[in-house]
A and B are shown apart, each in its own frame.
Chain A
């Protein structure tokens, strides 16, 4: 018969999961510190920061274990991040939620690939309500998992259809209480930059969000807040403070986010070009915001990322959806209206090959057709000055969608409905201090 783990053992296990919350380990007795170090190593959670924590205790036994195991400070294991010169804000790991929509059940390889980058943070994994199998998630993460039962409980079973497929992540956005959200598709793994270093996508996204954006005038040297760059001659000084960046859109190596017709025409095309730039997408310029690799400031535009446009034949591959494109157009309009910025470019993730473009083509032509109506609509949307919050803006857009696009296709009428419902949900559940 196996003995139950002691309270001490359970406490140490919990400590391993919450290592990112500790600033000082020296009050711990030596034997507990040693045990903690051992379990941290076993869990694969030793990184620069944690190593420094242990070394800072100055305890001889700890230091000799570190030396005996030949643990060394790695100079550049992951692309080093220096917060931009304009950023005075100190971002804590606890300000960030990483939200993953699980459309496949076995997340083991996905999580292991991201371990060195994700393990510092709290994760929310939301299971596609249409997925029947149990999720397989490896140990060693600080993670909360949500499934259909939670959705039914929180929003009611009739409303939980909102979260089917790729839209399941929006449930995570709704219930999170962190300032910054990073969300990546479950078929992406960390990319390597041109020098062969692993790209810390989370760090880059946070850097994008915490340095200003410059939507009112284009800087030809791209992001002026990056090290080694600046504003060029001719850039007005009054615009050099920039505005808050609300959304950071990353890119994809290998399988780029093409639509089905494009990928079907060029089945072998893979994106191998690493473009070393982040830039602000200018105000009033529209863009296709892909949901594959994004991050945003939830406090500022949380409600604007919404599950609304669902294609009649929507499927479980990005080629068969338009929900993120629709959501992204709303976000850009709202950001332009509220005077905030959207950045595009780094970080890259590596997107695995999946699916068959020609098969998806049979379904996704509908989305391609709808974009032709969507674009002129968004070009003409005008938000009243009285819309001063993200919620207000979404309500206005929903009204306009119902009025102008609703008559063209039932999918738009449903989108307008979904948007209004979403705002009600957000107002009821999206704010407040208690996480669910």
Chain B
């Protein structure tokens, strides 16, 4: 029986690593009560809250947090016509937070995710683990059977070539979930009672050339290294598909990371996922995705980027061209998505000009 950590106030003194270099991005449509539990771990950091849904509703942020909040009106105001690329009525809107952030690192978490406990009963500081993952190298070119070799107590095994032991920079740290696992709707329907109780004490690099399903519930990344690839697509209101936002971002990100020689890690840290969404609602959202992914996966598996694509933006624009070319025939949605991908990059570059130029961005409500 797995449970969340109940008393995190007593957590051992937290040293907030990268306090001024990391933003925590949280999409929400309800409330932010869950922050209370995360307080000892999150309070030193700046929050970017992206309010989805009705902008006239007020979202209360617990006292003591330093944050900026953006609702739909803010998004429209800041991006103008380009706001069309940001989803409405779907947590995919969170990627707006990535775009307006000025920090090097992003950690994003869902508002139904709580602090988990490790097997010894200690509350897990997920943010700290993500930071450790991101600050240590990845090893995508050769699989280490003892998992992350940079972890204390581990190392590279016999036979691991020395020339590959420096590793490459880590762009993404993908965490996991105890309690309600991230299953798709059909699996949820078949196994409504299944809970993830297995704490797998490992972090590993996903090998180059291998795709994976990236979940946005508990995710950290280096915005400077891979930010522009973290577009969470067109989902929700007015779109034929939902619950594929993070998947889409993950496939694009992995292809680009592989191309640029960056690493993606998965495994620790765990958070406690408390709410199982309604599987019938999910099925309606995912339905088309379940068929489309059979085309999408081979597309990403075969995607290659030309050598002259050396920035994330160039890679992403190139990918969008290939999406338009190859996936439009699956459904006209992909045509729209390809356009949105370009809009996203344009908006990103506008809000994040190369250093030297100033960017006039209106701040959200504080």
- Chain A 140-179, CB within 8 Å of chain B: the 1/0 string? 0000000000000000000000000000000000000000
Contact check, A217 vs B211: say whether CB atoms are below 8 A apart.
yes
**A234–B290 alpha-carbon span in the complex (Å):** 8
Q: How many A-B residue pairs have CB under 8 A?
A: 176
Complex: how many Å from CA A371 to CA B207? Answer: 19
A287 touches B145 (CB 8 A): yes
Which B residues touch A269, using CB under 8 A?
Answer: 153, 155
A325 in contact with B145 given A235-B213, A276-B201 (CB within 8 Å): no
Which of A228, A234, A256 meets B293, CB within 8 Å?
A: A234
Chain A, range 303-335, C-beta contacts under 8 Å to B: 318-319, 322, 325, 328
Task: Tally chain B residues at the interface, Cβ within 8 Å.
Answer: 58
In the complex, whether A347 has a CB less than 8 A from a CB of chain B is: no
- Give bound CA distance, A284 to B142, whole Å: 10
Q: Which residues of B contact A235 (CB under 8 A)?
A: 184, 213
Determine the chain A residues whose CB is within 8 A of the CB of B194 once the complex forms: 228, 230
**Chain A residues at the B interface, C-beta cutoff of 8 Å:** 194, 217-222, 226, 228-239, 249, 251, 256-259, 262, 266, 269, 271-277, 281-290, 318-319, 322, 325, 328, 344, 368, 371-372, 374-375
Q: Contact: A233 with B247, CB < 8 Å?
A: yes
| In contact, B162 and A375 (Cβ under 8 angstroms) | no
Flag if B158 contacts A372 (CB, 8 Å): no
In the assembled complex, how far is the CB of residue A290 from the closest CB belonging to chain B, in whole angstroms? Answer: 7
Are A232 and B183 also in contact (CB < 8 A) when A220-B266, A271-B146, A273-B201 are? yes
List, in ascending order, chain A residues with CB within 8 A of B160's CB: 259, 288, 371
Find out whether the CB atom of B145 lies under 8 angstroms from the CB atom of A230.
Answer: no
Stretch of B83-91, B174-182, B346-354 contacting A (4+ beta carbons < 8 Å): B174-182
B124–chain A nearest beta-carbon distance, Å:
16
Contact assessment for B155 and A266 in the assembled complex, using a CB-CB cutoff below 8 Å: yes
Interface residues of B in 240-271 (CB under 8 A from A): 243-244, 246-247, 250, 266
Interchain CA distance A414-B212 in the complex, whole Å = 40
Chain B residues, CB < 8 A from A328: 159
Q: What chain B residues lie within 8 Å of A228 (beta carbons)?
A: 194-198
B162 to A372, Cβ gap below 8 A? yes
Residue B276 lies at the interface, judged by CB distance under 8 Å to chain A = no
Contact between B215 and A220, CB atoms less than 8 A apart = yes
When distances are taken between beta carbons in the complex, the residues of chain A under 8 Å from B206 are 218, 282
Chain B residues, Cβ within 8 Å of A219: 212-213
Pairwise interchain contact A277-B202, C-beta atoms closer than 8 A: yes
- B210 adjacent to chain A (CB < 8 Å): yes
Cβ of A234 and Cβ of B146 under 8 Å apart?
no
Residues of B with C-beta under 8 A to A232 = 181-184, 213, 215
Determine the residue in chain B with the shortest Cβ distance to A370: B161
Chain B contacts to A: CB under 8 angstroms: 119, 141-147, 153-164, 174, 176, 181-184, 187, 191, 194-202, 206-215, 243-244, 246-247, 250, 266, 286, 290, 293-294, 297
Q: Are A285 and B155 in contact (CB under 8 A)?
A: no
Given contact pairs A259-B160, A275-B201, A289-B145, a sample of 19 additional A-B residue pairs in the complex whose CB atoms are under 8 Å apart: A217-B212, A217-B213, A220-B182, A220-B215, A221-B176, A221-B196, A234-B215, A237-B293, A239-B297, A256-B155, A259-B156, A262-B156, A273-B201, A281-B143, A282-B143, A285-B143, A286-B141, A325-B159, A372-B161
B161: A residues at CB distance < 8 A? 371-372, 374-375
User: Is the Cβ of A271 less than 8 Å from the Cβ of B156?
Assistant: no
Residues on B with beta carbons closer than 8 Å to the beta carbon of A222:
200
A286–B142 touching, CB < 8 Å: yes
Contacts of A226 in B (CB 8 A): 198
Alpha-carbon distance A367/B247, docked complex (angstroms):
41
CB nearest to B244 among chain A residues: A234
Which residues of B are found within 8 Å of A285, using beta-carbon distances? 142-143, 207-210
Closest A-chain residue to B140, C-beta based? A285
Which of A234, A249, A259, A281 touches B158 (beta carbons < 8 Å)?
Answer: A259
A contact residues around B197 at 8 Å (CB): 228
- Chain B residues lying within 8 Å of A325, measured Cβ to Cβ, are 158-159
State which of B158, B176, B209 has its C-beta within 8 Å of the C-beta of A258: B158
3 smallest beta-carbon distances between A and B, as pairs: A234-B213, A288-B159, A285-B207
The answer to whether A282 and B209 have CB atoms under 8 Å apart is yes
Interface of A is mostly: loop
Q: State the Cβ distance, B142 to closest chain A Cβ, in Å.
A: 5
Contact yes or no, A275 B147, CB < 8 A? yes
Partner of B162 from the list A282, A287, A368 (CB cut-off 8 Å) is A368
Other-chain contact of A236, B142, B162, B243, B294 (Cβ < 8 Å) = B294
Choose among A276, A286, A372, A375 the residue that contacts B200 (Cβ–Cβ < 8 A): A276
- Are B184 and A372 in contact, CB atoms less than 8 angstroms apart? no
- Would you mind naming 17 contact pairs between A and B with Cβ atoms under 8 Å apart? A194-B119, A218-B206, A218-B211, A220-B215, A232-B215, A233-B184, A237-B290, A256-B157, A274-B201, A277-B200, A285-B210, A286-B141, A286-B143, A289-B145, A368-B162, A371-B159, A375-B164
- Identify the interface centre among B145, B159, B194, B213: most chain A CB within 10 Å of its CB: B159
Closest to A332 in B: B143
Distance in Å from the Cβ of B272 to the closest Cβ of chain A?
A: 15
* Closest CB in chain A relative to B233 CB, distance in Å: 13
Asked if A319 contacts B154 (CB within 8 A), the reply is no
**Shortest CB distance A86–B (Å):** 14
Is A230 a contact partner of B163 (Cβ separation < 8 A)? no
In the complex, are the beta carbons of A275 and B290 less than 8 A apart?
A: no
Q: How far is the CA of A423 from the CA of B144 in the complex (A)?
A: 29
> Once bound together, how far apart are the Cα atoms of A219 and B206, in whole Å?
10
Which chain B residues lie closer than 8 Å to A273 at the CB level? 153-154, 201
In the complex, A236 Cα to B184 Cα: how many Å? Answer: 10
Contacts of B181 in A (CB 8 A): 221, 229-230, 232
A247 CB, nearest partner CB in chain B, Å = 12
B153 in contact with A271 (CB, 8 Å): yes
Contacts of B159 in A (CB 8 A): 259, 288-290, 322, 325, 328, 371
Are B145 and A233 in contact (CB-based, < 8 A)?
Answer: no
Task: Specify which chain B residues have a CB less than 8 angstroms from the CB of A371 in the assembled complex.
Answer: 159-162
Q: A235-B213, A236-B297, A368-B162 are in contact. Are A257 and B157 (CB under 8 A)?
A: yes
Q: Which residue of chain A is the closest to B264 with respect to CB atoms?
A: A218
Tell whether, in the assembled complex, residue B201 and residue A262 are in contact, meaning their CB atoms are under 8 Å apart: no
Residues of A close to B184: CB separation below 8 A: 231-235
A319:B158 contact, CB within 8 angstroms: yes
In the bound complex, CA of A277 to CA of B176 (Å): 14
Contact assessment for A257 and B207 in the assembled complex, using a CB-CB cutoff below 8 Å: no
Are A272 and B153 in touch, CB under 8 angstroms? yes
Which B residues touch A276, using CB under 8 A? 198-201
